[in-house]
Structure 1
Amino acid sequence: MPSSLSPSLPPSLRITSVSAVSVAQAAAWYEVTAAAVRHDLPDDTPPSPEQVLGALRAAAPPDGDRRFWLAADPEGRTVGVASLLLFGSAGQRHLAELEMSVHPGHRREGVGAELLTQVVAAMRAEGRRALIGRVVVDGPGAAFAVAQGFRPVLPLTHLLLDTARADTRWADSVPPGHSLVTWTGTVPDALADALAAAKNAMNDMPTGEMDFGSRHWDAERVRAMARVVADRGDTLLTVAAMAGERMAGYTEVVLRPGEKDRAQQYDTVVVPEHRGHGLGLLLKAAMVRRVRADHPTVTEIETDNADDNTHMLAVNERLGFRAYRRTCVYQLELELEQEEEQEQQEQEEGQKEEQGVTE
């Protein structure tokens, strides 16, 4: 563990650890995160109370686990919050993801460091060796991450698309032998296996120096992830390209409650054997047309791309996306005890054998 992690609880700070967040705790969580966004990103709109409540009370992703911490001052006011996602996929059981906010009026008081100490302790108990979190480049989170021993592993460019000005003519270029299908929410049963196979193509996406591991998708995992999105109160839209009974690619957009003018881009994937035919551009253009027709209040779509994903950056530029912010994934590597490390290695080897993975 980095020596900069706080060894003891700062005076008058009380940390509460919970596995499920109450409505009252979610309201306090909202106040902290909204204050942080207003201070750090004054041009942004903070998440709505409904979005925060939905995100906190939704189920964890398939096979995963979530933990939450709230830090309170002597008057009982929540001044910092942290959530930890312990990934559950067989190829990611070394990994956890952190989201943390400290109220701007209570920074530099040891709140973030103590929350991180609690998070790291929970990771060690689960035998996790890598912790990732995303921060705004040149923002206070980046300085905090470096001070706590994190290192930058994946720079990201965030982009916005004006849906009214997007160039959607690419949606008319469906290659011979392909057809487009659309759905809302959970994938239709007849397409579940095909979508799972296409999602497995994400394992070759650029991840920089991040120790991201791999995910294995099957039909049930696809359905479970859609339930997670629905539990948050979000609406999941999908456009897919079919080549016979196989899915050649797909793109996903999410509409969040209380956010009528902006949608969030999720996955856009083209499976390897169907690349080089413009399917990524076709799918995203078709999605813009769908959003325009079915959700006319949406005027912007937000996405982010790894800086080394030059192909998708080019696709987004041709469609009309413009860069507006940079963030970076930072990673903290933990030194596990020898017994923990050996147990984890044995577990990972067993997982590889279970999936039929060979070196």
Structure 2
Amino acid sequence: MPTSVQIRPLQHVSAAEALAWHQVVAASTAHDLPGVPTPDPGQIHAQLTGPALGSHRLTWLATGADGTPVGVAALRVFTSPGQDHLAELELHVDPAHRRLGTGSLLLEAAVAACRAENRRSLITTAPADGPGEAFSTRRGFRRAMTLDHLMLRPDELDRADLLLLADAEHPGYRLTGWTGTVPDALADAFAAAKNAMNDMPVGDLDYGSVAWDADRVRAMAEVVAARGDTLLTIAAVHDDGTMAGYTEILLPQGSGPRAQQYDTAVVPEHRGHGLGLWVKAAMVRRLGAEHPGVVEIETDNADDNVHMLAVNHRLGFRSYRRTREFQLDVPTT
């Protein structure tokens, strides 16, 4: 273990500490995921200091003898019923300082925090077949799920085909959309639809489940807005007022060229009518009209989520990388 490395918990992340954090994450991402954009220091500061939905966050910064930042770790400790056994770890070490024990020291701090918080499961994500996967496996994590990351470039789509999908007739259903917080008249219906995510395939991951209500969906939108991001939603509403399905897109602070797909779900009793493809096609059309600077949309699906993978491939998403979710049973002593 490197005696010259100091692991320091961050109580209140300053702008300078966010800059140090960014330095490590940028170097790690460029090495492990070339081409994947890194949040800027302002975005990282907002992510580390803003509110977190159904959780709280613990953070550590590792520095060398000269004060250079060499590693970071963030632990999201879930607090909602149904997930209060769980914590999620993000850990980065600057490639120039790897294999010197820094990652192990950061992981030890995170595992100790899990024990102190009475969390029995720790999950983390790493690029498939990369150094993060090897690190996780050596330290007792088991592979729980593989995620297929897909990219859509709207300017490469057949415009006529997109309009055909977005304008398809779905008798008994209508489309509606909003930016940010769901309108009050739709809040309860949206919360009910959100609960459809609880049967999403998650491999062997012990992710638990979340009960959504109107207050929680409002709080989620407030968390996104507080860190400077924009959340777009399109939903399919049945004639009886039930929200049958929806899709969400996140535009990171600054409206860069890449949007992130958030949830897409169809309520079980409304499946089999093509609603997932409908709302996603309508969202791509909306992005083109309202946010023409977006040239890429990234999404991910568990590799056993064959239905949503088929929907995304039909729309024009193409696989471009894979990550894996790992889970550690936290030792009690």
TM-score (norm 1): 0.89
The reply on whether 1:40 has 2:40 as its aligned counterpart is no
Aligned partner (choices 131, 145, 154) of residue 154 of structure 1 = 145
1:135 partner letter = A
The reply on whether 1:29 has 2:21 as its aligned counterpart is yes
The reply on whether 1:20 has 2:12 as its aligned counterpart is yes
Aligned to 2:96: 105
Aligned to 2:220: 225
The reply on whether 1:281 has 2:277 as its aligned counterpart is yes
**Does the CA-based 8 Å contact 1:265-1:302 persist in structure 2?**
yes
Relative to 1, partners in 2 of residues 1:19 and 1:225: Cα closer, same or farther, differing over 3 Å?
Answer: farther
**Structure-2 separation of matches of 1:101 and 1:172:** 44
Q: CA deviation at 1:334?
A: 1.6
Choose 86-95 or 309-318, whichever is displaced more: 86-95
**Structure-1 separation of matches of 2:210 and 2:191:** 11
Choose 51-60 or 313-322, whichever is displaced more: 51-60
Aligned to 1:357: none
**Does the CA-based 8 Å contact 2:89-2:122 persist in structure 1?**
yes
Aligned to 1:349: none
2:155 partner letter = A
Aligned to 2:248: 252
Aligned to 1:291: 287
Alignment of 1:110-259 (within 5 A): 110-166=101-157, 167-168=161-162, 169-243=164-238, 244-259=240-255
Q: CA deviation at 1:50?
A: 2.6
Aligned to 2:61: 70
Percentage of identical aligned residues:
59
Aligned to 1:263: 259
Aligned to 1:301: 297
Q: CA deviation at 1:275?
A: 0.2
2:180 partner letter = G
**Structure-2 separation of matches of 1:12 and 1:84:** 23
Aligned to 2:313: 317
In the alignment, structure 2 segments of 5+ residues that lack a partner are none
Aligned to 1:93: 84
The reply on whether 1:50 has 2:42 as its aligned counterpart is yes
Q: CA deviation at 1:173?
A: 1.7
**Does the CA-based 8 Å contact 2:18-2:42 persist in structure 1?**
no
**Structure-1 separation of matches of 2:114 and 2:223:** 23
**Does the CA-based 8 Å contact 2:61-2:72 persist in structure 1?**
yes
Aligned to 1:4: none
**Structure-2 separation of matches of 1:180 and 1:44:** 32
Aligned partner (choices 315, 327, 333) of residue 331 of structure 1 = 327
**Structure-2 separation of matches of 1:83 and 1:150:** 17
TM-score (norm 2): 0.96
1:232 partner letter = R
**Structure-1 separation of matches of 2:64 and 2:48:** 22
**Structure-2 separation of matches of 1:15 and 1:174:** 58
Q: What per-residue deviation string (whole Å, max 9, x for no partner) do you get for residues 170-222 of structure 1? A: 11124111111110001111111111100111110001000111100111111
Choose 115-124 or 73-82, whichever is displaced more: 73-82
Aligned partner (choices 71, 76, 80) of residue 71 of structure 2 = 80
2:218 partner letter = R
Q: CA deviation at 1:259?
A: 4.9
**Structure-1 separation of matches of 2:220 and 2:38:** 25
Q: CA deviation at 1:46?
A: 2.4
**Does the CA-based 8 Å contact 2:115-2:331 persist in structure 1?**
no
The reply on whether 1:60 has 2:52 as its aligned counterpart is yes
| Local SS of the residue matching 2:155 | coil
**Does the CA-based 8 Å contact 1:51-1:258 persist in structure 2?**
no
Q: CA deviation at 1:233?
A: 1.0
In the alignment, structure 1 segments of 5+ residues that lack a partner are 1-8, 338-359
Q: CA-atom RMSD, angstroms?
A: 1.2
